[in-house]
Amino acid sequence: MTDSAYEELQTGGFGPATFDLLRRLVHQVHRTYGFPPPEGHTSWSDDAAYDVISAMLSQEGAGQRFVTVCFTQAADEASLERLFLTSIRNFLIDEAKKTPRGKLRRRIARLMGEDTAYRKNNGSPPRWALADHPEEALWQGDLDDLIAQAARVRGVGITRWNHAGPTPKQTVHALKTILLCVLQHAQGAVREEDLAKVLEARFELLAPARVTQLFADEGSVAAIVEQHAATTAPDPTETEGVAEGIWQRLSPNERLLLPYLDKDAHHAAQLLEIRQGHAVLVLSNLKTMLRDALSLDSDAQTVMASLLRRCGEAAS
């Protein structure tokens, strides 16, 4: 064994010293440029770095060839590290572009790049600010704070989200409204990756459809419905109409939370697999919307039972 990857490649080919160097360089690249962790990981760890290295080594048509190419161009350990860094960065750029968030980042970067109200800061990772912000001003706060600020903006929504072609005008307006509000609040340049996360949270753009077992004991939804049916005799057509109207207004995350209104934000964050700060807002907005909607109906319990039945049907 040798402590130097360069010496190792000179004497015996790819080995533990080279692998360890690549691991350390993957961490250096993601810290410097803010790349998201690879698929299957929620944060960067050695396991995530190993997955990146494995993916690089198993690329079709390339494999370990990038190691050989870097070694043949290097003169010493330092130059080998620089070549490895470039290869890792280029690989992570290509991978990020394939992800839904990567596509969202490119879309908002294009929108802001075409608008003189926004300015892209030089350097990496890419950051955006308002044109009238001082060039040296950088936002370094908590992402949950920006997500909360975006959630306070009312009157904008996205009804059309195309994955190719020009962005619809109403969607552009909604995205820019949130971007403007968030950057005004930040008072400095925000990482492009963080802006994408804010928009994703605000509009649930990338939220996958989830199927979750909502109740521990089978049949509990039916039991609730039967209990309310025994105590009330509402007009079923009217009740279902009210329930359907509310159901259509609920986001996928809000539908998942509906049976858990008595739980705290920590439970909601675990269920939805989101940050706790974001979960607080989703839970609060859901309760407010239900309170306003059900206060207009004289048979709120039966409407709520109908909503819970829809939860059960969605999970089955």
Complete DSSP assignment for 236-303 = HHHHHHHHHHHHHHS-HHHHHHGGGTTS-HHHHHHHHTS-HHHHHHHHHHHHHHHHHHHTT-TTHHHH
The pLDDT assigned to 64 comes to 64
Give the three-state DSSP class for 6. Answer: helix
Give the three-state DSSP class for 120. Answer: strand
CA 116 to mean position of chain CA atoms: 27
Q: What is the pLDDT of residues 254-269, one digit of tens each?
A: 888 888 887 788 888 8
pLDDT level of residue 36 (50, 70, 90 thresholds) = confident
Give the CA count within 13 Å in the CB-facing half-sphere of 18.
22
Question: Does the predicted TM-score (pTM) go above 0.75?
Answer: no
Distance CA 239, CA 299 (A): 8
Contact 112, 120 (CB under 8 A): yes
Sheet holding 118-120, edge to edge: 118-120, 127-130, 190-191
pLDDT level of residue 60 (50, 70, 90 thresholds) = low
Contact 62, 87 (CB under 8 A): no
The pLDDT assigned to 21 comes to 93
Q: Is the pLDDT of residue 297 over 70?
A: no
Percent of the chain past pLDDT 90, that is, above it, reads 21
DSSP strand pairing (127-130 vs 190-191)? antiparallel
Place of tokens 């440029």: 33
What are all long-range contacts of 62-67, with beta carbons under 8 Å and residues at least 24 apart?
Answer: 64/14, 67/9, 67/14, 67/18
Rg (CA), the chain: 25
Higher pLDDT, residue 185 or 234: 185
Q: Is 127 left (phi over 0), alpha (psi -120 to 50) or beta?
A: beta
- Picking from 15-19, 51-55, 77-81, 278-282, which range would have the lowest pLDDT averaged per residue? 278-282
Distance CA 220, CA 238 (A): 24
Q: What is the pLDDT of residues 111-138, one digit of tens each?
A: 999 999 999 998 777 899 999 999 899 9
